[in-house]
Structure 1
């Protein structure tokens, strides 16, 4: 499939009025493992405060892309630029949340949220107070002293999200964070995440296999080809924000879904 390229300019999220400055740039990224090419010439600019979903079949390199952006994996060529600075191969520059919540069972909810501070410099009373305030604001205030075994799957994912936010990075990589949840819980988590994103004004790069989830959440959707992973198309989601559930049945939503499905199942 020929690669469809978008002009390398900062994105303008729907409803923003003026283009936002570029926050994160992925520049001509190539990743190979021996004779296997996982990513081929991937370039993408993400605007400050933008919500971008990465969509593609299993094995298209979505998680490999995240590992490179997070600095956990060295690319064969290309670079990652954050706020105008080359951060290639430098872990800790962005927040990274995996599908598994990876909560430490011997730490309370509050202890898990403040984990990054505890590991890097030692969590202070201020860190704990700020984490408690954040958790209380977003529905976890009654669970601060609970341990992970006492929480539902959705609650554990909320704690994992709070932990990622508390790390303080303005760019957050979310790798299928709701993939293991049932449909009803997942929809509630999507709405909760959109509220967090609106309030905290973070820049989010979100991997999913779920077409409906991508359309409901994103400003733009990056559709990737099967291995080697390339950008097949970048679609702007022209739906109002905040997004009521009614958008799921609009002609715009259905049309975008049809266009994406043609790429994924051509």
Structure 2
């Protein structure tokens, strides 16, 4: 049951037929894990907290650096040197005190996955390296959890949803088979426009909300690609690899 304060806070969202009071109450009961509190994780975390998601699990191992502030908007100048999970937690609690924040300072490895991930209804991949992405993908396939994946560099970005609760959904390994991936460029090497990570991050947040409430058509089976220089979006069809070592049908 929403309080009068909550009805006022979320009033513009509740007005939407796809959300309504029932959808808002659903958000309040949900938990989302955001892995990476950088350029993508910043807008994702802020919009999910503002939208009224009940619990957020923030996972990151890094500290705030001056060079982060151009695009990692959940952090501020006084947070320089602070753990990103703590900096983000402070900002999100100020944004919406009703959202419970759990922090995990960790660089995810195959053998060390925080228990908090088990509680998440949706997991957001806002990282910038293949190693962590593969770990998250295997976890989500094994536990049948939706994975909202985003990436951005320079003036381009991409976002998709992997949800192996749907039999036709590919997984991250289908798109980028392990061992065949190219070494990703980093923002420190190639640069990135601040607003580009914001655009990709807000799409990720929107997909999370749709998954939690259960409305609309998600990006499962589609890769949305952004060319910000010419402001063009392309939607590419993704297919499941039946021989995928992670989500494919394995025969003995």
Bigger fraction of residues in strand: 1
